[in-house]
């Protein structure tokens, strides 16, 4: 237990360093981007004096270190600043968008983790037989196709042609959870396809390795039924590496969904950042990116924790 | 098919193998690995199967439990376990047979246990399979662990495999195998990879358990001495064929097949030393799996072979209770030696100035309460052309000492390393080029020590460039002469390491170490991974190179027979301290330090029980928290009293340079050690 605690402290401090570096990078990028913020807000016809006045009001003429400190200390206290475009606090926008994205990611994960693992395990149990080839090849093809291709095909097939699912992810106001999930199935499918191949392949190779291992031989030669050997002896050891892969792929689910969100007109954090970047709305842009960073750090931390809980060699250390 | 009397006989056997042929399918071709193999193991009998790697020993074991690799198949014959044909069983009966009748103990106990399951669960599931409820299963598991002499079974049940030592893991492996009271127990190299002291404990345990349970054993090992200790009858396997079989003592004392004769001659026996005679070797290689064998499989490597041997496969001649597959079984013992027996070394010139002198070397890893004293106050000296044997269990500091000498790790301040009279910087980076090339190393595992993407010419060429400063034509010339001196031929120059056998790879590693004309070569278990016939060739090579170049060796090995053969001087380490040191002859003939005595009596030999046997209990203590007084007192079978716990004995040296760190005077030790067996003392 002490080993886990010190491991946790170590990982948390590492995450904090990463987040600090990210905040600096985001902030500097905001400064370096071409264009005058006041001009961008007021439009090309505005008076030069008005533009400068606005810049002063926004505090943009102060030294850069002061601006950074101001921003980051407010951010840590939960104040993400005020949007240039909406003239309103940033936080509600970011949280709402983040909530949407997490919902979409959750639907995709709930679908892809069990199915991907099951497919990989089934492939491993039928290694080099037709079923294995179909799963491996299918998974690989799905993974290499970009989501804007699969997304469009899925919209055309299920939304336009068969008309089974709504083509936009924007559910009607006041919709219940089931309706929301119903609207999210189609946008989640392209994400599902991208991840399915990865997870199935990891689960397959982990399982093959486990089945070839000496401890599975021991279990078989104890006379245990095949099912017990698989469930009790092979699976847990086989899936340890897969868990790490799933965790690293949540990065993609949270950060890389801009395309899917745009395609399905879904107000997630990806499309929020995209809009903010186009409108030079730096407070939203910076807050959005930093929020994604925080979410990813937490996800990675949870995955590491899960891995170490499942693996006694890490949990208990190497000591005798 | 089997005729009637045979069937009746089989009913009384624990294992019958009749006309068994097994093939592995690789690259679209079936390659035969077992050829028409027949053997029988009676109820309660212990049968040893020996032979070099690749001869099919493990395939026999895996066929008996029907767990051949995916590409393996039985192409003929029968395997009957307790009368039931294993190959014909349906899956339910097969599972029942595995659960009740036959069990196996594996070579690598750490891998054979499930890393993510507690020991307890891995044992209780055996009893649950037999229909017991969880509670009684747990009680039975505790009993089972007690049977393999685990003193604290409840605590061990809570552990995961990685939290146990190798010896404990193997006890658990044996406990699991015996849990179902099987008729037949297969042990596949059960002690390979364990320390000699642990091996001795495990073998003792198997002997005791055999007496208790009357289980039949199939004991597979490459170690002839271990088999000779454990088994009633022995079969010698060569190229998938049984070439000789007989009662253990008869077979080893009076072998009737040239292969057995040759194998036994590869081993240093009866105190053989390098200056008294060379080891013999077996020329050539084992036939590749699937090779077509027309005559005798061993004919190509046999000096007795004639045309008859090369054309007609000899049958298994019945020699009255024993079998030999040799046309000339009556004169197998007259097999001429491959190498003349006379010693290679000209009488070594006498030197007075040591090439290496080490004073008060210490090595501490970590600091504070976690400080690990890996090496404590070690001093030694080495003359040119001399071999120093470094002996001790794993964890005794052998490798740490070697790494300090090489400068890979820096010793604590205060110690001194003198090379040819000059002080050597502790760290490799600050050593002069002359000093670096003067000390080289040969590792245990040439696979990981050689760059596998480079051909041999480049591996050795690079060493010549770096260590000898050669280039161009002189380099080429030196490369060829170096290859010749380690008996590699020119055709090996372009080969990559993976295309070479273990023995050839080790020759490349030796050539690399000799590239800069070193003064000292550290050999860290250089032959442990090799078969005996290859080992003897490498040992001969090391002796030849030493005689020619007057190079000194620091030879680390757990095989005391090999150490004795090669060494002029011995240092025995325990928990990083020198427990005994002196001329090899004296260290081996005694009086011994009790620890040395225990090491010596742990090693099974083919020369019969020579000395009184003493056994160590438990494991080597942690170097983080070493015992007080004499560090060996916690395991010492000859402990005399509180003085051992309170004061560290000095390293008492006699005139001949033989020194023992013990409170018992040497004369008294000598007396004790000529007396009879001493068992482990109850604490």
Same domain, B160 and B262: no
Task: In whole angstroms, give the CA distance from residue B295 to residue B316.
Answer: 13
Do residue B160 and residue A233 have CB atoms under 8 angstroms apart? no
Find the closest chain A residue to B125 by CA distance.
A224
Confidence of residue A34 (pLDDT cuts 50, 70, 90): low
For chain B, give the percent of residues with pLDDT over 90. Answer: 48
Task: Note the pLDDT of residue A6.
Answer: 78
Task: In whole angstroms, give the CA distance from residue A53 to residue A38.
Answer: 8
Q: List the beta bridge partners of residue B521.
A: B440, B553
Residue A3 lies in a domain: no
pLDDT exceeds 90 at position A263: no
Task: In whole angstroms, give the CA distance from residue B109 to residue B162.
Answer: 10
Residue B321 DSSP one-character state: S
pLDDT exceeds 80 at position B12: no
Residues 122-151 of B with CB under 8 A from A: 125-126, 129
Per the document, the length of chain B is 683
Residue A84 lies in a domain: no
Q: How many domains does chain A have?
A: 1
- B391 near B365, Cβ under 8 Å? no
**CB of B59 within 8 Å of any CB in chain A?**
no
Do residue A223 and residue B164 have CB atoms under 8 angstroms apart? no
Task: Note the pLDDT of residue B353.
Answer: 87
Task: Note the pLDDT of residue B510.
Answer: 92
Do residue B163 and residue A213 have CB atoms under 8 angstroms apart? no
Q: Which of B114, B167, B164, B174 is nearest to B144 (CA)?
A: B174
**CA-based angle A301:A307:A311, to the nearest 5?**
145
Residue A15 lies in a domain: no
- B116 CA: distance to closest CA in chain A (Å): 6
Mutation for B interface: A230, A240, A311, A312, most B CBs within 10 A? A312
pLDDT digits (tens, 9 = 90+) for B197-213: 888 888 988 988 888 88
Same domain, B556 and B668: no
Hey, what are B149's tokens?
């002499």
**CB of B114 within 8 Å of any CB in chain A?**
yes
- A4 near A310, Cβ under 8 Å? no
Q: What is the DSSP string of B265-284?
A: HHS--TT--TTT-PPP---S
Do residue B115 and residue A313 have CB atoms under 8 angstroms apart? yes
Separation in Å, CA B359 to CA A320, B117, B376, B405, B660: 34, 48, 11, 11, 18
More confident call, B352 vs B485? B485
Same domain, B425 and B539: yes
**CA-based angle A95:A99:A104, to the nearest 5?**
150
Tell me the mean pLDDT in the region A35-63: 75
**Is the Cα dihedral A122, A125, A126, A128 positive or negative?**
positive
Most confident of the following: A184-188, B5-9, B130-134, B208-212: B130-134
pLDDT exceeds 80 at position B608: no
Do residue A213 and residue B97 have CB atoms under 8 angstroms apart? no
| Confidence (pTM) | 0.82
Residue B192 lies in a domain: no
What residues in B contact A311, CB-CB < 8 Å?
116
**CB of B160 within 8 Å of any CB in chain A?**
yes
Residues of A with CB under 8 A from a CB of B: 213-215, 217-225, 228, 232-233, 236-237, 240, 310-313, 316, 318-320
Same domain, B330 and B407: no
Same domain, B401 and B534: yes
The DSSP element (H or E) to which B171 belongs, if any, is helix B166-178
- Tell me: cis bond preceding B591? Omega within 30 of 0 counts: yes
pLDDT digits (tens, 9 = 90+) for B75-94: 999 999 988 899 999 999 99
The label of the residue with tokens 């809009």 reads A275
- Phi, psi (rounded to 5 degrees) for B382: -140, 130
Task: In whole angstroms, give the CA distance from residue A282 to residue A27.
Answer: 9
Task: Note the pLDDT of residue A184.
Answer: 85
Task: Note the pLDDT of residue B280.
Answer: 87
Task: Note the pLDDT of residue A320.
Answer: 38
- A28 CA: distance to closest CA in chain B (Å): 42
- B510 near B541, Cβ under 8 Å? yes
Do residue A214 and residue B112 have CB atoms under 8 angstroms apart? yes
Nearest by CB: B116 against A223, A237, A319: A237
Same domain, B425 and B536: yes
Nearest by CB: B95 against A225, A316, A319: A225
- B417 CA: distance to closest CA in chain A (Å): 33
Residue A8 lies in a domain: no
Residue A37 lies in a domain: no
More confident call, A79 vs B161? B161
Q: List the beta bridge partners of residue B440.
A: B521
Same domain, B282 and B394: no
Q: How many domains does chain B have?
A: 4
Task: In whole angstroms, give the CA distance from residue B290 to residue B577.
Answer: 51
- Beta carbons within 8 Å of A89's beta carbon, 6+ residues apart: A79, A80, A81, A82, A83
The label of the residue with tokens 């080597």 reads B620
pLDDT digits (tens, 9 = 90+) for A4-19: 777 788 888 988 998 8
**The CATH number of the domain where A252 resides is what?**
1.10.3720.10
**CB of B113 within 8 Å of any CB in chain A?**
yes
pLDDT digits (tens, 9 = 90+) for B389-418: 999 988 888 989 999 999 999 999 988 999
pLDDT digits (tens, 9 = 90+) for B158-209: 999 988 888 889 999 999 999 988 999 999 999 887 888 888 888 988 988 8
Task: In whole angstroms, give the CA distance from residue B656 to residue B660.
Answer: 12
Task: In whole angstroms, give the CA distance from residue A57 to residue A52.
Answer: 9
pLDDT exceeds 70 at position B344: no
Separation in Å, CA B406 to CA A79, B372, B379, B478, B570: 60, 20, 15, 25, 19
CA B204 remoteness from chain centre: 17
Task: In whole angstroms, give the CA distance from residue B541 to residue B487.
Answer: 8
pLDDT digits (tens, 9 = 90+) for B211-238: 888 899 999 998 898 999 899 999 999 9
Do residue B116 and residue A223 have CB atoms under 8 angstroms apart? no
CA B24 remoteness from chain centre: 27
Residue B429 DSSP one-character state: G
Residue A32 lies in a domain: no
Chain A and chain B share a number of CB contacts under 8 A equal to 73
Nearest by CB: A233 against B99, B100, B114: B114
- B622 near B575, Cβ under 8 Å? no
What residues in B contact A224, CB-CB < 8 Å?
95, 99, 125, 129
β-strands B46-50, B216-220 pairing:
parallel
Q: Count CA atoms closer than 13 A to B566's CA, side-chain side.
A: 34
- B203 CA: distance to closest CA in chain A (Å): 21
Tell me the mean pLDDT in the region B321-339: 88
- B160 near B117, Cβ under 8 Å? yes
Residue B514 lies in a domain: yes
CA A208 remoteness from chain centre: 28
Task: Note the pLDDT of residue B677.
Answer: 45
Domain interval for residue A261: 90-315
Hey, what are B61's tokens?
């074991």
Per the document, the length of chain A is 320
CB neighbourhood size of A261 (10 A): 23
pLDDT exceeds 70 at position A121: yes
What is the interface pTM, i.e. ipTM, of the complex? 0.81
Mutation for A interface: B58, B71, B116, most A CBs within 10 A? B116
The DSSP element (H or E) to which B149 belongs, if any, is none
- Beta carbons within 8 Å of B472's beta carbon, 6+ residues apart: none
Same domain, B522 and B552: yes
**The CATH number of the domain where B424 resides is what?**
3.40.50.300
What residues in A contact B71, CB-CB < 8 Å?
none
Task: Note the pLDDT of residue B7.
Answer: 52
pLDDT exceeds 80 at position A254: no
N-terminal to C-terminal alpha carbon distance within chain A: 15
Tell me the mean pLDDT in the region B250-268: 92
Same domain, B556 and B610: no
Q: Which of A174, A95, A177, A187 is nearest to A147 (CA)?
A: A187
Strand, helix or coil for residue B72: strand
Residue A69 lies in a domain: no
Task: In whole angstroms, give the CA distance from residue B568 to residue B381.
Answer: 12
Nearest by CB: A217 against B67, B97, B163: B67
Task: In whole angstroms, give the CA distance from residue B229 to residue B598.
Answer: 17
Residue A64 lies in a domain: no
Residue B73 lies in a domain: no
Do residue A320 and residue B67 have CB atoms under 8 angstroms apart? no
β-strands B72-81, B84-85 pairing:
antiparallel
Domain interval for residue B123: 106-181
For B502-506, the CB contacts below 8 A with 24+ separation are B502/B446, B502/B529, B502/B530, B502/B531, B502/B534, B503/B530, B503/B531, B503/B534, B503/B537, B503/B538, B505/B446, B505/B447, B505/B450, B506/B442, B506/B446, B506/B530, B506/B534, B506/B538
What residues in A contact B184, CB-CB < 8 Å?
none
**CB of B99 within 8 Å of any CB in chain A?**
yes
pLDDT exceeds 60 at position B680: no
Same domain, B494 and B390: yes
With residues binned 3-state (H G I as helix, E B as strand, rest as coil), the percentages for chain B, rounded to 5, are 40, 20, 40
- B595 near B651, Cβ under 8 Å? no
Do residue A223 and residue B96 have CB atoms under 8 angstroms apart? yes
Same domain, B417 and B549: yes
Residue B228 lies in a domain: no
β-strands B323-324, B439-442 pairing:
unpaired
């Amino acid at each position: 237990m002490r080993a886990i605690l010190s491991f946790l402290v170590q990982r948390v401090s590492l995450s904090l360093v990463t987040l600090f570096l990210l905040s600096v990078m985001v902030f500097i990028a905001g400064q370096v981007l071409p264009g005058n913020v006041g001009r961008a807000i007021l439009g090309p016809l505005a008076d030069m004096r008005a533009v400068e006045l606005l810049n002063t009001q926004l505090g943009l003429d102060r030294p850069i270190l002061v601006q950074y400190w101001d921003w980051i200390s407010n951010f840590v206290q939960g104040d993400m600043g005020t949007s240039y475009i909406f003239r309103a606090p940033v936080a509600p926008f970011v949280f709402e968008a983040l909530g949407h994205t997490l919902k979409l990611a959750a639907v995709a994960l709930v679908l892809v983790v069990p199915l991907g693992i099951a497919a990989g395990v089934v492939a491993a149990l039928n290694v080099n037989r037709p079923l294995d080839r179909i799963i491996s090849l299918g998974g690989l093809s799905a993974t290499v196709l970009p989501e804007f291709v699969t997304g469009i095909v899925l919209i055309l097939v299920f939304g336009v042609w068969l008309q089974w699912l709504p083509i936009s992810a924007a559910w009607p106001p006041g919709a219940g959870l089931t309706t929301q999930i119903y609207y999210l199935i189609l946008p989640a499918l392209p994400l599902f396809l991208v991840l399915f191949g990865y997870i199935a392949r990891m689960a397959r190779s982990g399982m093959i390795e486990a089945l070839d291992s000496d401890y599975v031989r021991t279990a078989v030669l104890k006379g245990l039924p095949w099912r017990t050997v698989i469930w009790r002896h092979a699976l847990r050891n086989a899936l340890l590496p897969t868990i790490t892969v799933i965790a690293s792929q949540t990065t993609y689910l949270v950060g890389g969904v801009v395309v899917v969100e745009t395609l399905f007109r879904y107000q997630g954090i990806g499309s929020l950042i995209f809009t903010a970047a186009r409108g030079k709305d730096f407070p939203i842009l910076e807050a959005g990116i930093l929020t994604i960073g925080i979410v990813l750090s937490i996800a990675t931390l949870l995955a590491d924790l899960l891995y170490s809980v499942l693996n006694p060699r890490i949990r208990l250390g190497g000591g005798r | 098919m089997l005729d009637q009397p045979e069937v009746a006989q089989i009913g009384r056997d624990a294992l019958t193998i009749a006309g068994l042929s097994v093939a592995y399918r690789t690259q679209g071709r079936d390659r035969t690995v077992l050829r028409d193999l027949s053997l029988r193991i009676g109820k309660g009998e212990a049968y040893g199967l020996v032979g070099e790697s690749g001869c099919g020993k493990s395939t026999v074991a895996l066929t008996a439990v029907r767990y051949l690799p995916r590409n393996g198949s039985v192409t003929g014959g029968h395997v009957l376990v307790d009368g039931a044909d294993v190959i014909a069983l349906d899956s339910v009966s097969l599972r029942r047979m595995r659960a009740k009748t036959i069990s196996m103990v594996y070579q690598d106990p750490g891998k054979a246990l499930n890393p993510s399951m507690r020991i307890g669960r891995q044992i209780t599931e055996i009893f649950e399979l037999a229909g017991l409820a969880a509670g009684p299963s747990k009680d039975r598991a505790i009993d089972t662990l007690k049977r393999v002499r685990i003193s604290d079974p409840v605590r061990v049940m809570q552990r995961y495999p990685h939290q146990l030592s190798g010896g404990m893991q193997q006890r658990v492996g044996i406990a699991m195998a015996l849990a179902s009271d099987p008729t037949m127990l297969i042990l596949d190299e059960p002690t390979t990879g364990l320390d000699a002291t642990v091996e001795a404990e495990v073998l003792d345990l198997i002997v005791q358990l055999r007496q208790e349970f009357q289980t039949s054993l199939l004991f597979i090992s490459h170690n002839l001495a271990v088999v000779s200790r454990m088994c009633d009858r022995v079969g010698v396997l060569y190229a998938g064929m049984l070439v000789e079989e007989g009662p253990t003592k008869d077979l080893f004392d009076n072998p009737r097949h040239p292969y057995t004769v040759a194998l036994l001659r590869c081993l240093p026996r009866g105190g053989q030393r390098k200056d008294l005679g060379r080891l013999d070797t077996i020329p050539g290689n084992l036939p590749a799996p699937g090779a077509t064998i027309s005559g005798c499989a061993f004919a190509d490597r046999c000096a007795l072979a004639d045309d008859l041997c090369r054309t007609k496969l000899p049958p298994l001649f019945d020699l009255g209770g024993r079998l030999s597959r040799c046309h000339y079984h009556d004169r197998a013992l007259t097999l001429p030696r491959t190498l003349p027996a006379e010693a290679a070394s000209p009488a070594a010139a006498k030197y007075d100035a040591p090439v290496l002198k080490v004073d008060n070397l210490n090595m501490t890893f970590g600091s504070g309460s976690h400080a690990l004293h890996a090496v404590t106050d070690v001093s030694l000296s080495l003359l040119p052309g001399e071999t120093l044997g470094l002996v001790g269990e794993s964890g005794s500091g052998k490798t740490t000492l070697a790494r300090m000498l090489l400068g890979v790790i820096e010793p604590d301040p205060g110690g001194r390393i003198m090379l040819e009279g000059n002080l050597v910087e502790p760290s490799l980076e600050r050593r002069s080029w002359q000093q670096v090339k003067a000390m080289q190393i040969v590792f245990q595992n040439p696979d990981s020590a050689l760059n596998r993407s480079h051909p041999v010419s480049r591996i050795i060429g690079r060493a010549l460039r770096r260590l000898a400063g050669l280039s161009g034509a002189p380099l080429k010339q030196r490369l060829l002469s170096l290859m010749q001196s380690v008996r590699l031929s020119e055709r090996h120059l372009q080969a990559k390491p993976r295309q070479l056998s273990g023995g050839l790879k080790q020759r490349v590693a030796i050539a690399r170490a000799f590239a800069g004309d070193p003064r000292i070569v550290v050999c860290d278990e250089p032959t442990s991974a090799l078969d005996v016939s290859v080992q003897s060739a490498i040992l001969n090579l090391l002796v030849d190179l030493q005689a020619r170049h007057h190079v000194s060796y620091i030879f680390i090995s757990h095989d005391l027979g090999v150490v004795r053969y090669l060494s002029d001087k011995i240092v025995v380490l325990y928990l990083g301290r020198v427990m005994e040191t002196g001329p090899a002859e004296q260290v081996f003939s005694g009086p011994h330090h009790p620890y040395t005595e225990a090491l010596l009596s742990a090693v099974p030999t083919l020369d019969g029980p020579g000395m009184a046997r003493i056994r160590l209990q438990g494991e080597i203590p942690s170097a983080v928290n070493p015992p007080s007084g004499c560090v060996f007192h916690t395991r010492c079978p000859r402990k005399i009293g509180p003085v051992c716990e309170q004061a560290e004995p000095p390293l008492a040296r006699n005139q001949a340079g033989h020194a023992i760190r013990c409170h018992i005077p040497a004369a008294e030790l000598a007396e004790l050690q000529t007396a009879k067996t001493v068992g482990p003392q109850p604490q």
